[in-house]
Structure 1
Amino acid sequence: MSTIQGYFDPRFESVRELFAEQQQDEQARGAALCVTVGGETVLDLWQGVRDKDNQAVWEQDTLVNVFSCTKPLGAVALLQQVAAGKLELDAPLAAVWPEFAQAGKEAVTLRQILSHRSGLSAVSKTLPPEALFDWDTMSAALAAQEPWWTPGDEHGYAPVTYAWLLGEPLRRLTGQRPGQAIANSICEPLGMDFFIGVPDQDLERIASVSRLRNQYGDEGARRLFGAMGQPDSMTAKAFGNPSSMMTGTNRREWQQADILSANGTGNARSLARFWQLLAHDGQLDGVSLLDAALVKQMQQEHSAGDDNTLLCQTRFGLGVMLEHEGPGGSFGMGKNAFGHPGAGGSLGFCDPDAKVGFGYVTNTMGPYVLMDPRAVALSQAVYRCLQSID
């Protein structure tokens, strides 16, 4: 195993030691961690390997699929459009996407979409694998889809359909493919090495993703995986329709698509930078990500309790998960932390009280439904350091 590379503030040496310890696991391949406190980066570490043969060393500029850690970028991009007066949180989404006004969705709002209350967590009609990479096919399928429950009455996480529920309005409002719109309004202004649709010249930097062997997670994971074995259930369709959702991760088609719910490709440094801004109400050192009032709306509880898709307790703001006490629900810091995990272990979040931005990525996927214990252990270690400094 390669040695740890990067920078750490000596006050956070215990976090570096834990990161190194995690990488000693015999199944560990590659990972990176970046943490900001206020305007400073206190940890920027990486270690391990990035190729499927475990030969290529993880580099400073290695990229990896962070799965649902991508979702808050799409949410912020739409909220930027709200700030610009181009759409409203509580107006029908059909105002910018007329074809959406069918099958009982005429009154569905952006607020309901962002907080997973729209009833559109999955497409019921079985789609061919290639549909996942055809923007118009997926948008049309969601425009035609009848909600699985009365919009606004319940909530259920939309693991993949979120890409088109946000991306099609964004495409119509900006005239750009969604990945490019997010690059223009978020990634480039913040200096993030992050892509939704990786350019040809950057493909060679992407780490190959694999799963931990013989690990089955907690009770929530076993319950979810059991439901996914029932082909006609909403949970199974949410994660497995089209079937390429479960098999495409290391394919070029996936890496270069605009699946802004699940295929963001970047590094821990970029996640930490994004959350650094949100920890400061969207503004820091002359850089503006989002109006402070809308950042506050993101943090307000919009959904809480039984999740129709994940079959566990979840708590959502607008486009983000909120801290909660249920299994797997804690970010490991303060009560006002908010952010988003990604399938397999990646995590991006902020603690606005401690002014922390946090990014963790890995190419060794764990089996947990919400927060991965590896990432949470690191965030808890950061928090302990902060408390000892104070």
Structure 2
Amino acid sequence: MTVTRPADPPIGGNVDPAFAVVRDAFEANFTPTEGDPGDLGASVHVIVDGRCVVDLWGGWADLEGSRPWKADTLVNAYSVGKAMVAATVLSVVADGTLDLDAPLAGVWPEFAAHGKGAVTLRDAMAHRAAVPGIDRPVADDEVFDFERIAAAVAETEPWWEPGSAHGYHVNTLGHVLGEPVRRVTGRTVGAVLRERFAGPLDADVWFGLPASEHGRVAEVDFVQHVPEEFRPHGGPTRLERMRRAAYFNPEGLSGIGTVNTTRWREAEVPSTNLHATARGVARVFASLLADDGPVPGSLVAEAARTHSSGHDLVLDRDSHFGLAMMLHQDGRPIGTSPASYGHFGNGGSLGFADPAAGLAFGYVINRPGDRWQVPRTRRLLDALRTCLGA
């Protein structure tokens, strides 16, 4: 729902003079263009070689235009959270509690159902576990119960032979990776993220947002209903049923109709309900570039190595993944160089690290676009490349 609102408040924050064109791009993002409504509220944060060079915010944190976006405004950043899950899982691998090449069933026996017993953590992180959607109807209320959704994923018959192909686990990846973390640590992926990254880095990134933080969350201008023809289990072929189930079984797994509710904010739906600031996202990615970060450099390099590329059975187009990280594609660059790794969030949010430039980036918004490559995100990346001489 797009509403008439007052003139935007001024852009806040600071920028290094060498990165002034990034401010220009950020400000331009608030102006609608053909096919894109522009930002309602947003923040962007860039760290280069450990130093903040861009820290900007602007626009509105509510749909009516009465609450200006602030430095500490949180917003649902959707699939940017998959990168936070990846970092968390890698930190657990680093301490020897999980093994990339061990079957998930070793710590999660129920996952072995229907021939999935050989699926490894590496397979799952590479979107090759073959459970991108749940194969039974899921009730709306189940979305808010992490353990019930994880159990439903474990009970699902694989949609293809695991390991033989890849398909974007749009709404299930956080459960497929988060449940092994819970089994071996006794804590949710959100709790481990707070302990190992958010707390030590002073990074505002959350799964399962406590009520004390809800007052600074931005409302999201997001679709509230999916037309009947796009609902799950309606297609004539198994492949079509899989794609619809992946996105819309139930539609609340993507936050449709629930993203601005208290229940959504308090739940852990790790594929899609990260609440974060741009600053928090960038700080986590900066830690992955650091020599003394929570994840050893060798594991970060492994996560940034190609594990799946080519035709994606869920997206029905090419995709490129490392270990739960999106990697560079010519038609949809994830960052400022082909070495970049990170993750887009629905409609334009983005977090990435570029080891070639020593750069970490976070951009979060509350008005998602509807394109595969949102012009606002591309504008910021182009400006950054100009600053870097790329």
Q: TM-score, normalised by structure 2?
A: 0.91
Q: Distance in 1 between matches of 2:13 and 2:188?
A: 34
Matched, 1:340 2:348: no
CA separation of 1:38 and 1:106: change in aligned 2, threshold 3 A = same
Match of 1:264 in 2: 274
Match of 1:217 in 2: none
1:3-34 C-alpha deviation (Å, 9 max, x unpaired):
10001001111111121121133653101111
SS of the residue corresponding to residue 348 of structure 2 reads: coil
Q: Which moved more, 1:167-176 or 1:204-213?
A: 204-213
Aligned counterpart for 1:239 among listed residues 217, 240, 247: 247
Q: TM-score, normalised by structure 1?
A: 0.91
Matched, 1:349 2:357: no
Match of 2:299 in 1: 294
Q: Distance in 1 between matches of 2:211 and 2:74?
A: 13
Q: Distance in 1 between matches of 2:91 and 2:353?
A: 19
1:163-206 C-alpha deviation (Å, 9 max, x unpaired):
21011111111111221121111211211011111111100100
Q: Distance in 1 between matches of 2:135 and 2:286?
A: 38
Are 2:134 and 2:156, in contact at CA under 8 Å, matched by a contact in 1? yes
The runs of 5 or more residues in structure 2 that have no matched partner are 1-7, 236-240
CA separation of 1:247 and 1:211: change in aligned 2, threshold 3 A = closer
The AA in structure 2 aligned to 1:30 is: G
Match of 1:51 in 2: 62
Q: Distance in 1 between matches of 2:321 and 2:28?
A: 32
Query: 1:277 offset after TM fit, Å?
Result: 2.1
Query: 1:373 offset after TM fit, Å?
Result: 2.3
Query: 1:39 offset after TM fit, Å?
Result: 1.1
Matched, 1:194 2:205: yes
Q: Distance in 1 between matches of 2:305 and 2:339?
A: 10
SS of the residue corresponding to residue 319 of structure 1 reads: coil
The runs of 5 or more residues in structure 1 that have no matched partner are 214-224
Aligned counterpart for 2:386 among listed residues 381, 384, 388: 384
Query: 1:368 offset after TM fit, Å?
Result: 2.2
Q: Distance in 2 between matches of 1:54 and 1:17?
A: 22
Matched, 1:133 2:135: no
Query: 1:52 offset after TM fit, Å?
Result: 2.2
CA separation of 1:107 and 1:368: change in aligned 2, threshold 3 A = same
Are 1:347 and 1:375, in contact at CA under 8 Å, matched by a contact in 2? yes
SS of the residue corresponding to residue 102 of structure 1 reads: helix
Match of 2:375 in 1: 373
Are 2:344 and 2:351, in contact at CA under 8 Å, matched by a contact in 1? yes
Are 1:227 and 1:235, in contact at CA under 8 Å, matched by a contact in 2? no
Match of 1:221 in 2: none
What is the number of equivalent residue pairs in this alignment?
369
1:236-290 C-alpha deviation (Å, 9 max, x unpaired):
1111112322221111111111111110101111111111222x2x43xxx5220
Q: Which moved more, 1:243-252 or 1:293-302?
A: 243-252
Match of 1:28 in 2: 39
Matched, 1:312 2:309: no
Matched, 1:84 2:95: yes
Aligned Cα root-mean-square deviation (Å)? 1.9
Q: Distance in 2 between matches of 1:27 and 1:385?
A: 23
Are 2:31 and 2:39, in contact at CA under 8 Å, matched by a contact in 1? yes
Aligned counterpart for 1:175 among listed residues 186, 200, 207: 186
Q: Distance in 2 between matches of 1:243 and 1:319?
A: 22
Query: 1:136 offset after TM fit, Å?
Result: 2.4
Match of 2:11 in 1: 4
SS of the residue corresponding to residue 101 of structure 1 reads: helix
Aligned identity (percent) is 37
Q: Distance in 1 between matches of 2:368 and 2:71?
A: 20
Query: 1:229 offset after TM fit, Å?
Result: 7.8
Q: Distance in 1 between matches of 2:186 and 2:294?
A: 20
Query: 1:211 offset after TM fit, Å?
Result: 3.9
Q: Which moved more, 1:19-28 or 1:242-251?
A: 19-28
The AA in structure 2 aligned to 1:256 is: E
SS of the residue corresponding to residue 138 of structure 1 reads: helix
Q: After TM superposition, where is structure 1 displaced by more than 3 Å over at least 4 residues in a row?
A: 225-232
1:324-339 map, 5 Å: 324-325=329-330, 327=331, 329-339=332-342
Are 1:64 and 1:206, in contact at CA under 8 Å, matched by a contact in 2? yes
Q: Distance in 1 between matches of 2:361 and 2:231?
A: 31
SS of the residue corresponding to residue 272 of structure 2 reads: coil
Are 2:335 and 2:354, in contact at CA under 8 Å, matched by a contact in 1? no
Query: 1:104 offset after TM fit, Å?
Result: 0.9
1:124-165 C-alpha deviation (Å, 9 max, x unpaired):
111110111112221211111111011111000001111210
Are 1:31 and 1:362, in contact at CA under 8 Å, matched by a contact in 2? yes
Are 1:3 and 1:47, in contact at CA under 8 Å, matched by a contact in 2? yes
